[in-house]
């Protein structure tokens, strides 16, 4: 999780260039990675100043949002939001991730796929002190909402990591009160809206 700095720039796509089904008032779209990349690559994605993007709902900032679950789906990793995003404080989240920055673009010719995967891996490495190398992220779809102030300017690229060894995942300092909880009991928590959308996405797979 990177703290906002005055000159931070983030990966964005013009909202009106994205498929309408992705940017409804509330969007939950199961999707393959190839189709997601194809659509995003065709839009003319760009890096813009984050402080501007946060105030401009004509852009969607692309956020890798990675969910950790046991392979039998019975448990899901959660943590409490106390990071740099004040608007999400005191909510529980099942999604690890954050903004994609120019550092994730190794060369000017990098594809959208390369930038997305590099950004996702960086976020996982920043937020987890340890993780199982055998359990890889798989893209499962898109979530978006225009209900909250945060949601209006972000679009979630949802990945999921399934594991039989949850004990191999150790949280970094950003993941407060990290724990594995029974998936069926998550609705009892005060979840951020994106986590609710991600759970619904998973249930539609």
Residues 24, 147, 64, 53, Cα dihedral to 10°? 100
pLDDT of residue 6: 56
Q: Are 193 and 88 in contact (CB under 8 A)?
A: no
pLDDT of residue 132: 95
Whole-number Å distance between alpha carbons of 83 and 105: 24
Beta bridge partners of 60: 13
pLDDT of residue 4: 46
Residue found by looking up tokens 């407060």 in the block: 176
Structure tokens at 174: 């950003």
- Please give the domain boundaries of the chain with CATH numbers for all domains: 9-203 (3.90.79.10)
pTM: 0.93
Q: Are 127 and 52 in contact (CB under 8 A)?
A: no
Note the pLDDT tens digit of each residue in 59-114.
999 999 999 999 999 999 999 977 555 555 579 999 999 999 999 999 989 999 99
Residue ranges in the chain whose pLDDT is less than 50: 1-4
pLDDT of residue 1: 43
pLDDT of residue 7: 79
């Amino acid at each position: 999780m990177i703290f906002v700095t005055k000159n931070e720039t983030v990966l964005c796509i013009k909202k009106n260039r994205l498929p309408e089904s992705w940017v409804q008032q509330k969007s939950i779209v199961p999707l393959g990675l190839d189709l997601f990349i194809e659509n995003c690559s065709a839009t003319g994605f760009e890096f813009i100043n984050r402080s501007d993007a946060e105030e401009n709902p004509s852009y969607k900032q692309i956020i890798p949002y990675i969910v950790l679950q046991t392979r039998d789906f019975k448990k899901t990793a959660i943590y409490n939001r106390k990071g740099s995003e004040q608007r999400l404080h005191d909510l529980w989240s099942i999604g690890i991730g954050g903004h994609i920055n120019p550092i994730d673009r190794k060369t000017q010719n990098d594809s959208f796929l390369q930038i997305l995967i590099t950004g996702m891996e960086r976020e996982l490495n920043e937020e987890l002190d340890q993780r199982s190398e055998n359990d890889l992220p798989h893209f499962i779809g898109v979530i978006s909402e225009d209900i909250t102030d945060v949601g209006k300017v972000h679009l979630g690229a949802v990945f999921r990591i399934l594991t039989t060894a949850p004990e191999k995942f150790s949280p970094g300092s950003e993941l407060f009160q990290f724990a594995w909880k029974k998936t069926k009991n998550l609705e009892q928590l005060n979840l951020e809206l994106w986590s609710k959308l991600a759970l619904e996405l998973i249930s539609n797979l």
